[in-house]
Structure 1
Amino acid sequence: MELKIKDLKVFTAQANFEWSFVRVYGENGIYGTGEAGPAPGIKGMEEEFRRLVVNEDAFKINRIEQKLRYAALYGGTTTYHLISAINIAIYDLLGKYLNLPVWRLLGGDRELIRVYVDAHGGKGLEAMNALHLPVSLPWLKDAEIENKRLATTSNPVHGRLSIEKWNEDYTPEAYSKRAKRLVDEGFTALKFDLDVPTPYTKEYNIRSGDLSLKDIDYLSDIMRAVRETVGDEIDLMVDLHWRFNLNTAIRLCQALKPYRLRWIEDPVPAIMTVSNFDELELLTKSCDSPIATGENLYTIYQFKDLLRTGVKIWTPDGVKCGGITELRRISELASMYDIEVSPHNTASPVGTMAYANAMSVANTFGVMEFHGHDVPFWHEMAKTKRKIIEKGFIKLSEEPGLGIDLDEAVMRKYWPDYDL
């Protein structure tokens, strides 16, 4: 059996994050769709990668993966975003060709995928491009967006160069109200941003990755309010977006200990794209709460190096780390050491369903991120027989491939130049 690849196309759409869709065409017009994580220049790679995959047999996934990795030898990690998308698209193509869902092709057995909602703060949405710069889009006027936090639009949204100011979206009351709404919708796990301004924020502290004791007390008050609101049956996590220096991260971890968080994510810049795993080891030795990281790591090789750090939650991002194939490899490595795998996910429905299918076969799967809760068209853009996420879970179906497709009319409604 052979299925020759006839074409490859790329389209980049700006939503709350940048979504780059990749379509791989087989014979007789059948196609599969994948997604690449945010990175500048994905569309610009289309021509060269088309040359690499056209006329390859889609069933030879390993050969195609190796071919793309050797071709990208000098290309840097950004190329892995597109390689991931191609891998996902090929799985979708094969599933449609064989009339089987991807999770069955993988031999998966978990049909119900638990989802946590990324709640941000008192409001639930920020929009940024592939360089983490804030963007203004027409549909944002109808969304609950964090629109008064940033004092400048020329600095990245996250990190120690953000220039911010506190407002009422970052009060314990705002966080607890949002938590209650999300739990009422059926979510059993919530993650909040805690690298946010407080009434005591000083610019010199931001630049140093530091917090005053007043800052730490205030952030602790936020999580106390959330815990008291949702009770002990709801998992709570916080994201710190690589913001803090080591000593500050340790002090904050200690302050948050009473609220029994499922994890604290990316407290220090050790796991930016250029990584420093030694710093992670120093952190985990001084922090009782589990540390989560992995969204900026690529392939099983980098995750293998996490084993010595004491990080207990791995958060691979499938639209960056290598696609469905690599998600499976990473999950299998994690299961050898009984480490939880809880994928990072800022993707559209395409990437989200790729993760869900891959997690069906992950022995130590925990809970998968959903970052599109407040994007008004997130569910609308997916052509499927039922809503993708209901009451905090994705129910995998017998629909072939990833189980969804893009709704062409909706895509053109929001992106008139859409072309796949």
Structure 2
Amino acid sequence: MDRADRPAPEVAIGDHVAPTRTDPVAAAMSEMVGGPLGDHARGHRWWDAGRVLVGATALTLAAGMVTKTACVPSGWSNPNQPFTELCWTDLAGTSVDAGAPPRVAGWLERVAEWLPGSGTVATTAVLAVLLAALALLATALLVRVDRRRPWAAAGWALGPVLLVHWLSWELVAAVGLAVLLWGWATGRAWLAGVGAGVGAAFALPVAVAFVGVVAVGGRLRHRVDALLAAAAAYVVVTLPGRATAETPDIGSIWFLLGTTDVGGSATTRTVVQVLVLALAAGAVWWLVRRAGRPSPLTSARAGLVLVAAALAVAPSAPPETALLVLPLAAIAVRRWRDLLVWQALHLLSWVLTGWYVGQALVPTVADDVRAYWLAVLLRVGGLVWLVAAVLLDAGAASVDDDAVEVGRGEPHPDLDVLADAGDPRT
């Protein structure tokens, strides 16, 4: 990595790092509101990072609702319209793949139908309110994962991926990841496990991220507590009914190979998946050794590398699975440039996937799947970019910039969001 390409040394104002003084993209964007933070600036008494980013998340969610308005007049009833106009949502029963969330999600839909109003639009609106509350909670938690970098949560709050995909059940899994990061960073191993368990019930790759996050810091007892809590939460959520078994479907490299003569047996898929995850585990080991001291940054990086590897070789990877990457990337990736490059590649993949599924290309390029090939390559390329970014950043630094240890069993008083249960944490 060239010297000019390395992240600038972190500049702290008080106990917090000022992103407009460390990140070129953040500095350029800040020109709209007066420029980077000055040497003599003081924080506002009320408008702290948490409140600002919760408000920003609300605006992002509102904009995301607007992106679905093309499907509202028809109630998502036209066969191809949700995909060609990029307004599909599994809350309304439209999805690009054949997968299904756990039966608990179906129960929530039935509860939503009991409320005033009728029809798909009314049910979707009720479920959207529930998911919006969860997204705001995720922002509040991510702000408190790393007390020196509260503004890192802006990667989640202002992420284009959140804007276009939050109306999906994968958001529950993403919020579970936020709970995992916050709980592990503040010494609440059982809460971290609950978040991971619930998240894995809605999207299994969360289980892989859980392994990476808890591999950094903490004691063996804390890891066992987190594992037991994750297993219990997963069983409780999936006991009424689990998601359908996954076969090669939209977004996966295996579905892509299935469109050619190469194909790939189940055994081949399993071998490749194991090899890729083993390579990712080796990268995580190197990250932990390179960091030296455990920190929220290293913990998020470990989870990001593993979940990116899992999604790259997953048997089904619809565009909404990018939500599983976003909370980890917000904490793990220190430069907005890398976050934006990944999301730009993903959004291009999302558009091509929608057009392919909705057969928008058929009138001119009948039976041509090259658009889908490009969509898969763009999706996987974005994941590779993120992994390369965190590995190069870790390799360029002599030690981790963060001095905050994670998983120690002693939460910092400024990081508390939920009321203290009164249990001793030693």
Q: TM-score, normalised by structure 2?
A: 0.25
| Larger proportion of helix | 2
| Larger proportion of strand | 1
Q: TM-score, normalised by structure 1?
A: 0.25
